[in-house]
Amino acid sequence: MTIRPVPPDPNHNYTNSALRTGDVDPYPQRQVGEFIGTVVANKWVNKEYKHVILKVHPHALKAYAGQMFHLLCPSPDGAEVWMRRPMSVYRVDKDAGHIEFLYKCEGRGTRGMAMLEPGDDFNVTGPLGHGFVLEPSWRNVVVLGRGVGLATLAPLSQLAAENKIGVTAILSARHPDVVMSRDLFEGLGAKTMTVLDSDGTSAVDNVEKILEGLIAHGKADAFFTCGSNRLLKLMQRLGKKHNIPGQVAMEQIMVCGFGACYVCMRTFEVDGQRLLRRVCRDGPVFNLQEAVGW
Amino acid sequence: MTIRPVPPDPNHNYTNSALRTGDVDPYPQRQVGEFIGTVVANKWVNKEYKHVILKVHPHALKAYAGQMFHLLCPSPDGAEVWMRRPMSVYRVDKDAGHIEFLYKCEGRGTRGMAMLEPGDDFNVTGPLGHGFVLEPSWRNVVVLGRGVGLATLAPLSQLAAENKIGVTAILSARHPDVVMSRDLFEGLGAKTMTVLDSDGTSAVDNVEKILEGLIAHGKADAFFTCGSNRLLKLMQRLGKKHNIPGQVAMEQIMVCGFGACYVCMRTFEVDGQRLLRRVCRDGPVFNLQEAVGW
Amino acid sequence: MVDLSVKIGAITLQNPVQPASGAFSWEYNDVIDLNRLGALVAKTICREPRLGNPTPRMAETEAGIIQSIGLPGKGIDYFIEHIVPEYAKFKPPLVVSCSSESIEDFAALAEELSVPDVDVIEANISCPTRNATGGNFAMHENYTRDCITAMRARTKKPLWVKLSPNAGDIVSIAKAAEDAGADALVIANTFLSLKIRTDNFRPALGNKFGGLVSPALKPIVLRMVYQVAKQVKIPIIGIGGVTKAEDVVEYMLAGASAVGIGYAGFRNPTALITIIDDLEAWCDERGIKKVTELIGAVKDQDMETDTLAAASVGI
Amino acid sequence: MVDLSVKIGAITLQNPVQPASGAFSWEYNDVIDLNRLGALVAKTICREPRLGNPTPRMAETEAGIIQSIGLPGKGIDYFIEHIVPEYAKFKPPLVVSCSSESIEDFAALAEELSVPDVDVIEANISCPTRNATGGNFAMHENYTRDCITAMRARTKKPLWVKLSPNAGDIVSIAKAAEDAGADALVIANTFLSLKIRTDNFRPALGNKFGGLVSPALKPIVLRMVYQVAKQVKIPIIGIGGVTKAEDVVEYMLAGASAVGIGYAGFRNPTALITIIDDLEAWCDERGIKKVTELIGAVKDQDMETDTLAAASVGI
Ligand SMILES: Cc1cc2nc3c(=O)[nH]c(=O)nc-3n(C[C@H](O)[C@H](O)[C@H](O)COP(=O)(O)OP(=O)(O)OC[C@H]3O[C@@H](n4cnc5c(N)ncnc54)[C@H](O)[C@@H]3O)c2cc1C
Ligand SMILES: Cc1cc2nc3c(=O)[nH]c(=O)nc-3n(C[C@H](O)[C@H](O)[C@H](O)COP(=O)(O)OP(=O)(O)OC[C@H]3O[C@@H](n4cnc5c(N)ncnc54)[C@H](O)[C@@H]3O)c2cc1C
Ligand SMILES: Cc1cc2nc3c(=O)[nH]c(=O)nc-3n(C[C@H](O)[C@H](O)[C@H](O)COP(=O)(O)O)c2cc1C
Ligand SMILES: Cc1cc2nc3c(=O)[nH]c(=O)nc-3n(C[C@H](O)[C@H](O)[C@H](O)COP(=O)(O)O)c2cc1C
Ligand code: FES
Ligand code: FES
């Protein structure tokens, strides 16, 4: 065999350069794409959370509330970040061609993400999974979230507004500085209330009272929650008591995001039987009553 | 055992953050330090080479011509660069507290280095090895270098100027655009001449003629070379013929830089016997006649 | 244009790039065109439905991930009835991986999986996280021989055997598999590993041990492929740390006829397609007419062995 | 302030951090204060002067380096006369690693190295690049037992045995070394590896095979330390991928009494000092009084084994 010599390609030698491909697909017929988005903004919302806006390929704009993307975060330190990070889509702006994420800066991936600057590439795969579903018969729904969970629940307000469904959003947080998404909910016509650890209003008893009040006033055709095991249990109890359907968005460590690897399992209870489901593909949104919590 | 809980330190989890320490030592009594320099400038000299200036700890300023530093290059692509890169010190500016390197941008390490911007940290270990030695009896020496080798030879002009020794520098290059260090040599009073592949003047025959001329005019009390096997062989031949002592700076892939690992071996011939020496510690500068070349 | 097709025994792959078992399912058709792949490789299936291991099932480490899934699945009957038809919608050959605790059951699985839409049976005798001890048949020459002999007797389908990188002498085990009638060797499964969290002193995975997956491991597995290729005649599929077209080339030079890919497809779901395209371009640029020319083409016959030779820097 | 000292048999180390053989020499005193180290560990010495392997001796790979040095050195006589005195200028105990092709010579080396300034003899029965085939005694239980028995008979010095991660069943080999009289086990040497250059189709190293060195390997070696620690009574020195104080903790939790460091000291010559300082701070912050409390303290007794338990994300 004779091999024609070829000068080395300096951009194609190593792991990351090769792995940072993407955007190769977007066939219209594919449900999911690996897209190279462009960062439009990436700002601090408070001391712990940032909000990133990406200009993306139009196919990525199919995402709806509760669906997620799998993000290939840049390295914060020059060593590789090995796995993608799952994030719920926080907002889809079809006119601008943007998708947005609200994220807590914690580990290496999210700290790397925090370093993104406008104009940077950001490789995102999605939209993935099944999101929230709104029944046409519902008039008013209650959204109850805490921490990162609020990022997942926020686009429900968008979906509800499109479907002319009223939303009451109860936002739970440690203290007033880390309440998030209120503007987004209110901007889309939702009524919001904030409950805090710092003044004791976030205690389960108090939230229960609020929920019972909403139920009594016909504001709770369905329940939605994410981000707190305590609040999940509460909504399950009240949902059962008043026969209110509900949905919960779950989290689990992921590898593939497509349903292939069985890493992202969570326990559910269906007809008294415990079973495992994949958060990435069978969820991330599940029947409130079936989730076993964590 | 009871363990007091400690919040995780987000900057201390992974490989690189931990490895990017340094500056812990500089005891005055140590010969070598691991220093965190600060980039002052990092500019292109031509299409292939950059010139970086670092503000460093005063102990790093001990470096002299032919000695090297071992550089922990940042990653060009988010995956780790595993080993340090050895580089000869190009210039030491004691007044400003600077050391400088002239380097060819090629592989991952040097491409990462090319991304450094003023104000960035740069972890350098050194000075390492034995550099060039000038005998007080010498009046005029000849420096013959090519490519990256010119970076190694350049500070000889500084050393020679301090010792009031005249320098003739023959700079060999592929074409006029990649001739380097002429300003540095000339600025310190050296006479320079350029020989090029593009006009054929770099051919061994022609360089030989030039050298013979310098020898005839008493300008060659010693020979210095780096960067070309062909030119090494030529200087060896003429050195032997005219009994002119000489020094050559050698290159080899390195791991430790301290003489411990025996990775950086080169072959030498002493009294008819072949043996191996460590470039990092026994060199990088060696007796011209003993080097076997490559 | 280079001819990318390779033969693994009686099976022809349109190109040498296939997913690794457990790192793939037909659901990836959401994001890439599965008809572009060299083969489709299903997740290892066991006879009975299995839940798999406790969570967490994955943890990041300094330079890779450890994972411990525990071969969950709905069992062979469900698999043949519902999952094989999902794969049958696509053109590339279907490789079905299977595992068991006993040799008899391995053999029975081989027979039961010999249905028309299954093209290849892959014996996963090397899963390090199937149970909590990390042991498996591929650690032992005799178990390997007996298991493959028993499977061979019960199926006419091409039979591939996935070996373990945790074995001390992979060459002997590879030869045992060949002697017992394997049609190809898949080298290798994952490295048995452990991570302990320094915040709470507990193992990071629910199953304690996990398999290490990282591009860092490529040099080890490549060495195994090289050693085995010198000693067996059947084709080898190299698996471990392939993230780019050059890695496919490197495995083929070492003696592999094809490669399997796990991690890279997790990190970049479109990676396998990119790698196939890049491999084609790589060969075309160099005037290589058939990718099979690369198999075993490492230039190792005239290695310079004189330590005192004056070698160039050599990179 | 935490007490960092640990005992390896009769030897007390002021802290559990030592360099790995071959990755260190007294010349590092140029950059760090060697008197801070837990021990000094000399490069493996052989009886005769050796040149070592052809260059290049190191190549970078995707996630680590491969190296093949080939145990160069000036032989045991020069070593005892000229190099031992260099180390004797410093306070920490001196560990001298040695290697040979034969059991008889290993035993003779043990005797000859039993000079006053040598504190420990480390039997390097696991160098993967000593010759071109990568074989060594530590791949086999019997060779290991015979070699260590023979060495034990000829020296009263503490005898440490460096094992190979390439062995399939490291626990049996560890037990053989313990039975034969080893005072401690060093786990482990490097992984036998290969890199083939895709530009010229040649092996990247002059010796073809090399040992892979990368932080990525820590989970594999940690698993080995954990498995061995459950089965032997003698102390273990864990070596492989330690780059920070938490890694020392992780190895100690798995059952190691100390660690050896290679790569991190190459990358950051001051790393060992930083790691010792950080380890001290880490213990102090958590109120740990003696670093020895960490040895084997992994919480693995009450592992959640119910797959269906509703576990938290767990990180
Ligand atoms: C469906 C879904 C939607 C999510 N939406 C959001 C969101 O909108 N905003 C937000 O801030 N966070 C969200 N999360 C959580 C987010 O994925 C984690 O905070 C993030 O992965 C942590 O990464 P890290 O680099 O900061 O942490 P590291 O500690 O470096 O993470 C280590 C590994 O654990 C995984 N991991 C850690 N925490 C979680 C978690 N809670 N869930 C899943 N995997 C985890 C990481 O992905 C990574 O693989 C969501 C999680 C899921 C599953
Ligand atoms: C004593 C000495 C002084 C040097 N001075 C200079 C200088 O002033 N300016 C300059 O541009 N270059 C100099 N070099 C060469 C420089 O070390 C290499 O160009 C550089 O290491 C290549 O790194 P890379 O990331 O571009 O290449 P890669 O291909 O990524 O390198 C891969 C590995 O090979 C090693 N390597 C590659 N080429 C060489 C080489 N020629 N010598 C030693 N190791 C090599 C690298 O260090 C690295 O470990 C010197 C080398 C030595 C030994
Ligand atoms: C999440 C996950 C699940 C896996 N499941 C299986 C499996 O079911 N059967 C199998 O033979 N190998 C399994 N493997 C191993 C892969 O097939 C492959 O051997 C390994 O990932 C190494 O290849 P890579 O470096 O390309 O990832 C699995 C690997 C991962 C990461
Ligand atoms: C350049 C180099 C040379 C080595 N030489 C030896 C040696 O002579 N004897 C030995 O027992 N181990 C030798 N090793 C192996 C190391 O002692 C150690 O086991 C290995 O590097 C893993 O540790 P690390 O991950 O901290 O680097 C060498 C390693 C390297 C990188
Ligand atoms: S992340 Fe792979 S199945 Fe959900
Ligand atoms: S680089 Fe280690 S001895 Fe020279």
Residue A34 included in any domain? yes
Indicate which CATH number applies to the domain containing B293.
2.10.240.10
CB distance A10–B107 less than 8 Å?
yes
- Residue D48: phi, psi to the nearest 5? -90, 155
Residue B207 included in any domain? yes
Structural domain that includes position C191: 6-313
Same domain for A33 and A82 = yes
- Tell me which of A128, A152, A168 is where a domain ends: A128
C98 catalytic residue (yes or no):
no
CB distance C244–A12 less than 8 Å?
yes
Indicate which CATH number applies to the domain containing B93.
2.40.30.10
Full strand arrangement of the beta sheet holding D209-213 = D58-61, D64-67, D209-213, D191-194
Indicate which CATH number applies to the domain containing D181.
3.20.20.70
Nearest-CA distance B110 → chain A (Å): 11
Q: What is the pLDDT of residue B8?
A: 54
Highest mean pLDDT, choosing among A173-177, C230-234, D70-74: C230-234
DSSP letter (8 states) at residue B129: S
Same domain for B162 and B199 = yes
Same domain for A68 and A50 = yes
pLDDT at C77 exceeding the cut of 80 = yes
Residue A8 included in any domain? no
Same domain for B50 and B104 = yes
- CA C220 to CA D211: how far, in whole Å? 9
From the CA of A130, the nearest ligand is: 1
Q: What is the pLDDT of residue B148?
A: 85
- CB–CB of C157/C119 below 8 Å? yes
Residue A204 included in any domain? yes
Q: What is the DSSP string of C10-21?
A: TEEESSSEEEPT
Chain D residues 235-254 with a CB less than 8 Å from chain B: 243-244, 246
Ligand 6: nearest atom to the Cα of B281 = 4
Tens of pLDDT, residue by residue over B24-48, are 444 666 789 898 899 999 999 988 8
Tens of pLDDT, residue by residue over C3-28, are 999 999 999 999 999 999 999 999 99
Provide the token pair at B170: 């023959």
Q: Is B61 helix (H, G, I), strand (E, B) or coil?
A: helix
Contacts for B216 with CB less than 8 Å, ≥ 6 apart: none
Tell me which residue in B15, B80, B294 faces C311 most closely, judged by beta carbons: B294
Residue D158 included in any domain? yes
Q: What is the pLDDT of residue C309?
A: 76
Residue D1 included in any domain? no
Tell me which residue in B14, B251, B292 faces C310 most closely, judged by beta carbons: B292
Give the Å distances, CA to CA, from A20 to A12, A70, B52, C265, D77: 10, 14, 29, 12, 54
Same domain for A257 and A186 = no
Same domain for B232 and B138 = yes
Would you give per-residue pLDDT tens digits along chain D (315 residues)? 999 999 999 999 999 999 999 999 999 999 999 999 999 999 999 999 999 999 999 999 988 999 999 999 999 999 999 999 999 999 999 999 999 999 999 999 999 999 999 999 999 999 876 655 445 899 999 999 999 999 999 999 999 999 999 999 999 999 999 999 999 999 999 999 999 999 999 999 999 999 999 999 999 999 999 999 999 999 999 999 999 999 999 999 999 999 999 999 999 999 999 999 999 999 999 999 999 999 999 999 877 667 777 676 643
Please name the residue whose Cα sits nearest to atom 16 of ligand 4: D20
- CA C237 to CA C10: how far, in whole Å? 14
Residue A146 included in any domain? yes
pLDDT at C116 exceeding the cut of 90 = yes
Q: Provide the percentage of residues in chain A whose pLDDT is more than 90.
A: 71
pLDDT at A27 exceeding the cut of 50 = yes
Residue A2 included in any domain? no
ipTM over 0.85: yes
Residue B8 included in any domain? no
- Tell me which of A128, A146, A167 is where a domain ends: A128
Structural domains counted in chain A: 3
Tens of pLDDT, residue by residue over B245-285, are 999 999 999 999 999 999 999 999 999 999 999 999 999 99
From the CA of C22, the nearest ligand is: 3
Residue C1 included in any domain? no
Highest mean pLDDT, choosing among B289-293, C124-128, D303-307: B289-293
- Tell me which of B97, B128, B159 is where a domain ends: B128
CB distance B79–A15 less than 8 Å?
yes
Structural domains counted in chain D: 1
Please name the residue whose Cα sits nearest to atom 3 of ligand 5: A259
Structural domain that includes position B91: 19-128
| Residue located via tokens 């005063």 | B58
**Kind and range of the H or E element at D98?**
strand D94-98
End-to-end CA distance of chain C: give it in Å, rounded: 29
Same domain for A151 and A123 = no
Indicate which CATH number applies to the domain containing B207.
3.40.50.80
- CB–CB of B123/D268 below 8 Å? yes
Same domain for A217 and A151 = yes
Provide the token pair at D269: 């010559």
Same domain for A230 and A146 = yes
Q: What is the pLDDT of residue D131?
A: 55
pLDDT band at A148 (very low <50, low <70, confident <90, very high): confident
Residue B6 included in any domain? no
